[in-house]
Chain A
Amino acid sequence: MIRSAFLLLLVLAAGACAPAARRHATVDIGIHYSHYSITRIDVPAGVPVTFTIHNDDPIDHELLLGDPAMHERHRTGAEPVHAARPDELTIPAMSTRTTTLTFPVAMTLTYMCHLPGHEAYGMTGVLVARF
């Protein structure tokens, strides 16, 4: 009897946790010496993912997430600051920024900093979203 109750509790606990995990994921990314702390991120597709990016450098950085065509546009773009889109962030020196994105389908994207010379210096990473 006691054993059954304990098993039931376990199942309930699992049931309570699993949906929560599926409802929302979080990713922490650091930036130090002009490099992302993570260069590959795996996230669940179909649920909101909150990204928190800490810039420890005394210079500004960006985290722009997209496909090759999007990055090509930004390589030659002239926007000094990104703030209007959740997948295009400017992270000022010594600051933290947060954004939440949902990837509706499985996909692979890259994230980069397109400030002059930063991509070549290694500020790139890959994000894989899958169910």
Chain B
Amino acid sequence: MRRPLIFALGVVLSMTIFVAPAFACGGLIGPNGAVNLLRTTTFVGYHDGVEHYVTAFQFAGGGGKFGSLTPLPGVPTSVERGGSWTLQRLVRETQPVTKGIGLPLAATRSADGVQILLETKIDALDITVLKGGGAAVGEWATAHGFRLPADAPEVLDFYADRSPIFLAAAFDADAAAARGQRVGDGTPVHITIPTANPWVPLRILALGKQPNDPVQADVYLLTDQKPAMLPYARGTNGLQLAYDQTASAALLTDLRTDAGMGWVPTTGWLSQLRIDTVASTMTYDLAIDAAGRSPSRVAAGLETPGGSDQTPFVLTMLAAAMAALILVVIREQRRTVTA
């Protein structure tokens, strides 16, 4: 499924592998099925038909392994260590009163029914990009130690129907500790994906959570011009457009000088979307049209792939029926007058 979705994303399908509480930011599922929910931060930049997704795992101490799955809109051309200050710099740009950041992203590797497209290791993260249907990816994840929560089968199918590409990340807290990572240290990951439009999977933030569990995330979006997004950030749907203006030259320069960020253009539009809601309302993804026109309803999760919104057809038929009725009435009135 190669829809014009651009990946972007934010946080993702997180699931725990084996045990213990060391983790990455994001919705990680603990060994007992409980969710450790922290605000996550993700940067999605889109330029020249390529999406750059930057997020990070934050070492929170402890031991054991944790993991996450992230649906992607296409096959990435690279997955590498992200820059050192991109995320922090974005936070500072939009929130003068600085606060900590945290982000997630994760994965693992091979199995039946899935195609392994890429495997790499970044610090204490083992990353695998796979292609497969929801059930196959779920089986693969289970076989590789991921403890998928109850809603995972449906969520995996939801994403696989839109794009069968997933990035799995396994975070080894023991390895992180052995590397000398300190609590709070993050491992930024930069994923590069050629795609027609950016896309941010948000529904996955609610994975494994109870209906009233909080879902909090910040998504920074850098596009060449003001983008159009779906669903609309109304606030009542848990999505707020907290920042929406031309990116400052200082910001762009700072971003461009970070590792792997040479692609950042000299001008751009910066949007900050703040997700602050409960899991039961997190039923959509963020579809983006970088050209500012009409984002895909399918990409936003508001329509099923292959289906179409019947509303226009129904309205057309209703209008035609009304017009026919009016014509008949007018004709009858004329006949009456003539008689």
Contacts and interface: CB of A to CB of B under 8 A. Distances in A.
B32 interface: yes
A121 interface: yes
A46 B96 CA distance: 73
Interface stretch (B19-27, B148-156, B288-296, B302-310): B148-156
A118 B136 contact: no
Residue among B139, B153, B210 with most chain A CB within 10 A: B153
Contacts of A57: 135, 138, 153
Contacts of B137: 58
If over half of B's interface residues share one DSSP class (helix, strand or loop), that class is named, otherwise mixed; here it is: helix
B154 A34 contact: yes
Interface residues of B, number: 23
A59 interface: yes
Nearest to B147: A116
A117 interface: yes
A33 B33 CA distance: 17
Contacts of B150: 34, 59, 115, 117-118, 120-121, 123
Nearest to A113: B150
A33 B149 contact: no
Contacts of A56: 135
B139 A94 contact: yes
Given A58-B139, A59-B148, A117 B33 contact: yes
B154 A116 contact: no
B19 to A, nearest CB: 13
A117 B207 CA distance: 11
B149 A117 contact: yes
B142 A116 contact: no
Contacts of A115: 33, 150
Contacts of A58: 134-139, 141-142, 148, 152-153, 156
A116 B33 contact: yes
Contacts of B157: 33
A116 B151 CA distance: 11
Interface string B150-166: 11111011000000000
B186 interface: no
Nearest to B140: A58
A87 interface: no
Interface in A24-68: 32-34, 56-60
Given A56-B135, A117-B33, 10 more contacts: A34-B150, A57-B153, A59-B148, A93-B138, A93-B139, A116-B32, A116-B33, A117-B208, A117-B210, A121-B150
Interface of B: 32-34, 134-139, 141-142, 147-154, 156-157, 208, 210
Interface of A: 32-34, 56-60, 93-94, 115-118, 120-121, 123
